[in-house]
Structure 1
Amino acid sequence: MARVVLVTIGSLGDLHPFIAIGRALIAQGHRVLLAVPEDGVAKVRAAGLDAAPILPGYADICARLGMSPEEAAGRVLGDTNFVVDQILIPSLRSSTAALDELSADADVIAGSVFALASEIVAEKRSLPLASVVLQPMTLFSAWQPPVAPRFEIMRHRPRTAIGRGWNRTFYALARIALRRRHARQIDDVRAAHGLPPSQGAPMLDHGPVTAAFICCWSQALGKLPPDAPRHAILTGFPFFDSESGADDELAVEIQTFLDDGPPPLVFTLGSFAVASAGRFYDEAAALSRALGRRAVLLTGQPGPPRRDGDCLIMNYAPHSAVFPRASAIVHHGGIGTTGQALRAGRPQIVVPHFGDQFDNAARLKGGDVGATIHRDRFKVGQATNIVSHILTDPAIADAARRAATIIAREDGAAEAARHIAGLALTSPRAIR
């Protein structure tokens, strides 16, 4: 029996895969603790797992920054440095101290790329670390560089060594910039735990305690690039999407709506981009009516479900139950939503807002599973033809079904759990 500490921060797209992996580890007979932000603790415990906070919740972070949740979301969407500068680095000292205490009897730590405390604590305690990679772009490959803002100058289909060399030069410059920006703060925390200065750049480099890279997406979204780390393993998506954390029943209102007519369009911006939705849902409703289609709008806003003509408007519904009943899914491109839409075998339209969402959109488009629309162009007049094409193109429907077939053969949570638990055999406790 391994004693595993799982570490993640961020939105539900980050939390849900770790809950899925944690449940799989327990099913395989291991002990699990999830170290998460304060506002994820209740959900983790409702899912049957032990949890402890290592970061304050989103509301507390907003209060520290003197911003409303909407203002903070707007800054995250508009400034790629904001999360690292204003959230991750300022909380690193306290989160590392909390994680260190939680890891006193651990055999292995598995943390997300952005959980910077994971590597510090694993190195201090001589524990093997599994880097859980949720987004393909965060492998930062020279063969498959991110398709996202700030990466535009990279060669995105490098056919020669010159193109790949250009991409490696870009990463080298990024490493220098990250070191200059954050090395002092990170090294101060490392020194407080008796560790020497780091030689790498945060998020781009990984120290010797990183024993595996658990890549948690499906082959349907893309295979590992040739320059993936030697210990990289592609597992498939770890799926979990309960609203409360427990095994919820589908709300009567949405079950009735789905049964009442033809498959609707489903619109969602996930759990974070929804805080800066703008007119997305107004345009979604108008677009559905212009196409003569029913629609489900998952708005992330509290309140009971309500009908507005052929639109059902509600806070949230489990994607695993709703997406297979959709005619198409229009979403922000977060990795969790992307995986659920691929699993459902339905055409997709991605309206990316920030981060990896642009890269995920490009991968879906490249796989002929759907299309992408710029956030500013998601308006009835500009989006109608694209949505109509997605709904009627048989090639897209076939590609979506093939992707679902691939995912049906995978068990990402169980596969990730097996590899993480296997690392416990290399821990000092196991060796002793």
Structure 2
Amino acid sequence: MRVFVLALGSGGDFYPLLASAIGLAARGHTVTVLAGDWHEPSVRAAGLDFHPVLSSEEFARIGPMAQSLATPGGTWVAFFQHGVMPTVAPVYDYVAARVEPGNTLLVAPVQGIGLRLIEERFGVPLVTLLLQPRVHDWDQTNDEATRRFDAMYGPLINRHRRRYGLPPLGRSFKGWMVDTARMVGLFPAWFLSPQVDLPNQGRLSDFVLFDPAPAQATPPQLDAFLARHDAPLVFTYGTANRAVAEFFAAAAQACGELGRAAVFLTPHRHLLPDPLPPHVLQLDYVPLAALLPYSECLIHHGGIGTCAQALRAGIAQVIVPGAFDQYSNAVRVEALGVGKALAPHLLNAASLAGVLRGALDDPAVAARCRAVAARFAPGDGVEQCCEAILELAGRMPERR
């Protein structure tokens, strides 16, 4: 089949979709990845066709807008404004010129609006990949937040629908985006709490994790650092988050208080304390799969992919959530007994050091980390995801 995979968002959103695209290509399908232009090198390196549907300049506007809105829901508004809506026409126009009914498969995250319009217009199957277990949020169509969301974006979608010869929506825009019958959740059932997160009639896979080739694993300066410092702490606050100064300032002070070495993963070196202590190494990026097995704890923002990497590595984690699903992921990590959470408004060196002591000094946390890591098997997530995609596409249930 000809497969079009839409991969929106930052690294945590993009890489599971890329891993799924690679898995589908390995099964003999012709795959094109539609994504932001900054992801082209990763897609080309995987040997896949690529088409840009969003510029890095547009995506960069999300951060300032989210900060100006200064509400939890503001991050979603900013993401849709600058990370989703600008992709609708480029995605639709590119795929519409290449669609082959009966031989085309569409794969997208929940917010893959351009491909959802293609599905409706041409009758080709679209399988939705749910990156985070938050289905119940999308199923709520009568709350005030949903009404505001519909009022903001419903008219914009209807303009696209009119352009593409489709009737106006007769239902909630937020509800229209989600087809739970053809949905694959990229997380295992044991990660879910409460069970209302389970997709209705959809499928679940193990976590879908993308690991670069071993040759790309660790730079020389990291190897030298690990030779001097055993089991460092690892701090990261997401690939797209530029509001990191407070996080890393607290991290540097907390590591000094605890007497621990640390690796800071962020491309925003200018936002870090200057100079950094000698027991702290800053790197723009290192694959977590290459670093975490040699570390003792991961301190991060709570993105689902970052959580999963720590779970697989069998190390403790401390989450300082900031937006989207990160708060619920922090709750799940604490419920599993594999880490601790720290509210962002409580973040400072003393509070971070205290939470770290609780995660590092509790033998029950270490035991739970080992038990959870034992549930992972190499490659299972991608294989299960691809099987579910092809099964659901072949079943072709009617849209509700």
SS at match of 1:135: coil
Q: Does 1:194 align with 2:194?
A: no
Residue from 52, 56, 59 that aligns with 1:58: 56
Task: Map 1:12-411 to 2 at 5 A.
Answer: 12-55=11-54, 57-62=55-60, 71-72=64-65, 74-75=67-68, 78=71, 79-80=74-75, 81-104=77-100, 107-140=104-137, 171-206=142-177, 212-222=182-192, 225-226=195-196, 228-242=198-212, 248-273=216-241, 275-301=242-268, 308-408=277-377, 411=380
Note closer, same or farther for the CA distance 1:252–1:409 as it changes in structure 2 (3 Å cut): closer
**CA displacement at 1:40 relative to structure 2:** 1.4
| Rounded Cα–Cα distance in structure 1 between residues aligned with 2:23 and 2:116 | 23
SS at match of 1:342: helix
1:279-335 alpha-carbon deviations (Å, 9 max, x no partner): 2112111111110111111122369xx974111111111100111211111000111
Greater relative CO, 1 or 2 (CA 8 Å, sep 6+): 1
Counterpart position of 2:382 = 413
SS at match of 1:309: coil
SS at match of 1:276: coil
| Rounded Cα–Cα distance in structure 2 between residues aligned with 1:321 and 1:187 | 46
Note closer, same or farther for the CA distance 1:403–1:413 as it changes in structure 2 (3 Å cut): same
| Rounded Cα–Cα distance in structure 2 between residues aligned with 1:171 and 1:397 | 43
| Rounded Cα–Cα distance in structure 2 between residues aligned with 1:419 and 1:412 | 11
| Rounded Cα–Cα distance in structure 2 between residues aligned with 1:94 and 1:15 | 18
8 A Cα contact 2:8 2:84, kept in partner? no
Normalised by the length of structure 2, the TM-score is: 0.88
8 A Cα contact 1:218 1:407, kept in partner? no
Task: Flag structure 1 segments of 5+ consecutive residues without an equivalent.
Answer: 143-167
| Alignment coverage as a number of residue pairs | 389
8 A Cα contact 1:141 1:227, kept in partner? no
| Rounded Cα–Cα distance in structure 2 between residues aligned with 1:199 and 1:119 | 15
Letter in 2 for 1:140: D
SS at match of 2:374: helix
SS at match of 2:318: strand
SS at match of 2:157: helix
| Rounded Cα–Cα distance in structure 2 between residues aligned with 1:195 and 1:248 | 46
SS at match of 1:371: strand
Note closer, same or farther for the CA distance 1:364–1:200 as it changes in structure 2 (3 Å cut): farther
1:408-427 alpha-carbon deviations (Å, 9 max, x no partner): 37711111111222345357
Note closer, same or farther for the CA distance 1:74–1:141 as it changes in structure 2 (3 Å cut): closer
**CA displacement at 1:206 relative to structure 2:** 4.4
Letter in 2 for 1:390: A
Letter in 2 for 1:282: A
Structure whose residues are more often helix by fraction = 2
8 A Cα contact 1:129 1:211, kept in partner? no
Counterpart position of 1:147 = none
| Rounded Cα–Cα distance in structure 1 between residues aligned with 2:182 and 2:92 | 21
**CA displacement at 1:124 relative to structure 2:** 1.0
| Rounded Cα–Cα distance in structure 2 between residues aligned with 1:19 and 1:127 | 21
| Rounded Cα–Cα distance in structure 2 between residues aligned with 1:308 and 1:25 | 45
SS at match of 1:289: helix
Task: Flag structure 2 segments of 5+ consecutive residues without an equivalent.
Answer: none
Task: Let me know the Cα RMSD of the aligned residues.
Answer: 2.8
Note closer, same or farther for the CA distance 1:129–1:344 as it changes in structure 2 (3 Å cut): same
SS at match of 1:23: helix
| Rounded Cα–Cα distance in structure 1 between residues aligned with 2:173 and 2:216 | 38
8 A Cα contact 2:111 2:177, kept in partner? no
8 A Cα contact 1:179 1:200, kept in partner? no
| Rounded Cα–Cα distance in structure 2 between residues aligned with 1:71 and 1:4 | 34
**Alignment identity in percent?**
28
Note closer, same or farther for the CA distance 1:139–1:386 as it changes in structure 2 (3 Å cut): same
| Rounded Cα–Cα distance in structure 2 between residues aligned with 1:76 and 1:47 | 37
Normalised by the length of structure 1, the TM-score is: 0.82
